[in-house]
Protein backbone atom coordinates (compact mmCIF):
# COMPACT_ATOMS: atom_id res chain seq x y z
CA UNK A 1 0.00 0.00 0.00
CA UNK A 2 1.52 3.39 -0.93
CA UNK A 3 2.56 5.80 1.77
CA UNK A 4 1.53 9.44 1.82
CA UNK A 5 3.85 11.88 3.54
CA UNK A 6 2.23 15.20 4.38
CA UNK A 7 4.59 18.11 4.89
CA UNK A 8 3.95 20.23 7.96
CA UNK A 9 1.11 22.75 7.70
CA UNK A 10 0.71 25.23 10.56
CA UNK A 11 -2.98 24.52 11.14
CA UNK A 12 -3.89 21.22 9.53
CA UNK A 13 -0.79 19.15 10.29
CA UNK A 14 1.71 21.07 12.44
CA UNK A 15 4.08 18.10 12.70
CA UNK A 16 3.34 16.70 9.26
CA UNK A 17 2.00 13.17 8.89
CA UNK A 18 2.83 9.81 7.34
CA UNK A 19 0.22 7.15 6.61
CA UNK A 20 -0.68 4.45 4.13
CA UNK A 21 -3.50 4.84 1.64
CA UNK A 22 -5.06 2.22 -0.61
CA UNK A 23 -4.73 2.46 -4.36
CA UNK A 24 -7.55 4.36 -6.09
CA UNK A 25 -8.42 6.37 -2.97
CA UNK A 26 -8.46 10.11 -3.53
CA UNK A 27 -5.78 12.08 -1.74
CA UNK A 28 -8.54 14.14 -0.10
CA UNK A 29 -10.23 11.04 1.35
CA UNK A 30 -6.89 9.74 2.57
CA UNK A 31 -6.17 13.04 4.33
CA UNK A 32 -9.61 13.17 5.93
CA UNK A 33 -9.41 9.54 7.07
CA UNK A 34 -6.17 10.41 8.80
CA UNK A 35 -7.63 13.36 10.69
CA UNK A 36 -6.25 16.08 8.47
CA UNK A 37 -9.21 18.38 8.04
CA UNK A 38 -8.71 19.25 4.41
CA UNK A 39 -11.24 21.73 3.10
CA UNK A 40 -13.64 20.27 0.54
CA UNK A 41 -16.28 22.93 0.07
CA UNK A 42 -17.97 21.38 -2.95
CA UNK A 43 -18.28 17.93 -1.41
CA UNK A 44 -15.39 16.52 -3.45
CA UNK A 45 -17.01 16.81 -6.85
CA UNK A 46 -14.25 18.88 -8.39
CA UNK A 47 -16.22 22.10 -8.45
CA UNK A 48 -14.15 24.31 -6.17
CA UNK A 49 -10.46 24.56 -5.44
CA UNK A 50 -10.45 24.39 -1.67
CA UNK A 51 -8.88 20.90 -1.64
CA UNK A 52 -5.84 22.04 -3.61
CA UNK A 53 -2.56 20.28 -2.79
CA UNK A 54 0.88 20.25 -4.32
CA UNK A 55 2.15 16.72 -4.97
CA UNK A 56 5.85 17.23 -4.40
CA UNK A 57 6.76 13.58 -4.98
CA UNK A 58 4.87 10.99 -7.00
CA UNK A 59 2.96 13.50 -9.12
CA UNK A 60 3.47 11.52 -12.33
CA UNK A 61 1.97 8.39 -10.81
CA UNK A 62 -1.44 10.02 -10.34
CA UNK A 63 -4.39 9.67 -12.67
CA UNK A 64 -4.42 12.17 -15.51
CA UNK A 65 -5.49 15.74 -14.92
CA UNK A 66 -8.79 16.42 -16.67
CA UNK A 67 -9.70 19.64 -18.48
CA UNK A 68 -12.32 20.47 -15.87
CA UNK A 69 -9.89 19.95 -13.01
CA UNK A 70 -7.36 22.13 -14.80
CA UNK A 71 -9.95 24.90 -15.08
CA UNK A 72 -10.76 24.70 -11.37
CA UNK A 73 -7.09 24.64 -10.43
CA UNK A 74 -6.65 27.98 -12.15
CA UNK A 75 -8.62 29.45 -9.25
CA UNK A 76 -6.48 27.84 -6.55
CA UNK A 77 -4.35 29.95 -4.25
CA UNK A 78 -0.64 29.31 -4.77
CA UNK A 79 -0.92 27.24 -7.94
CA UNK A 80 2.22 25.21 -8.70
CA UNK A 81 3.25 23.01 -11.66
CA UNK A 82 2.52 19.94 -9.48
CA UNK A 83 -0.82 21.17 -8.14
CA UNK A 84 -3.85 18.89 -8.06
CA UNK A 85 -7.34 18.96 -6.63
CA UNK A 86 -6.92 16.36 -3.91
CA UNK A 87 -10.47 15.07 -4.41
CA UNK A 88 -9.73 14.27 -8.05
CA UNK A 89 -6.19 12.92 -7.69
CA UNK A 90 -6.14 9.22 -6.90
CA UNK A 91 -3.39 7.27 -5.20
CA UNK A 92 -1.67 4.81 -7.50
CA UNK A 93 1.18 2.43 -6.67
CA UNK A 94 3.84 5.02 -5.78
CA UNK A 95 4.42 6.79 -2.50
CA UNK A 96 3.42 10.44 -2.46
CA UNK A 97 4.65 13.54 -0.69
CA UNK A 98 1.97 16.18 -0.40
CA UNK A 99 2.15 19.83 0.56
CA UNK A 100 -1.03 21.57 1.67
CA UNK A 101 -0.89 25.23 0.62
CA UNK A 102 -1.01 27.78 3.43
CA UNK A 103 -4.28 29.23 2.17
CA UNK A 104 -7.26 28.05 0.21
CA UNK A 105 -9.85 29.87 -1.80
CA UNK A 106 -13.05 29.29 0.13
CA UNK A 107 -15.71 31.90 -0.36
CA UNK A 108 -18.03 30.09 2.03
CA UNK A 109 -15.64 30.05 4.99
CA UNK A 110 -16.57 32.50 7.70
CA UNK A 111 -13.89 34.57 9.35
CA UNK A 112 -13.40 33.95 13.11
FE1 LIG B 1 -14.08 20.89 -4.29
FE2 LIG B 1 -12.11 19.11 -4.39
S3 LIG B 1 -13.49 19.49 -2.78
S4 LIG B 1 -12.69 20.51 -5.88
- Residue 44: CATH number of its domain: 3.10.20.30
Q: Is residue 108 part of a domain?
A: no
Q: CA of 62: how far to CAs of 89, 96, 109, 112, in Å?
A: 6, 9, 29, 36
The tens digit of pLDDT for each residue in 41-89 reads 999 999 999 999 999 999 999 999 989 999 999 999 899 999 999 999 9
- pTM of the prediction? 0.92
Lowest mean pLDDT among 16-25, 35-44, 78-87, 101-110: 101-110
Q: Is residue 33 part of a domain?
A: yes
Q: Is the CB of 27 under 6 A from ligand 1?
A: no
Q: Is the CB of 85 under 6 A from ligand 1?
A: yes
Q: Whose CA is nearest to atom 4 of ligand 1?
A: 46
In the chain, how many domains are there?
1
- Which atom of ligand 1 lies at the shortest distance from residue 51's CA? 2
Q: Is the CB of 50 under 6 A from ligand 1?
A: yes
Q: Is residue 112 part of a domain?
A: no
Q: Is residue 14 part of a domain?
A: yes
Domain span at 19? 8-93
Amino acid sequence: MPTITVLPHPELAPAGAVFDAPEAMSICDALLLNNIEMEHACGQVGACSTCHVVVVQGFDSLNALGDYEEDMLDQAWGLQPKSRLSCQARVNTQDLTVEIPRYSLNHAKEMP
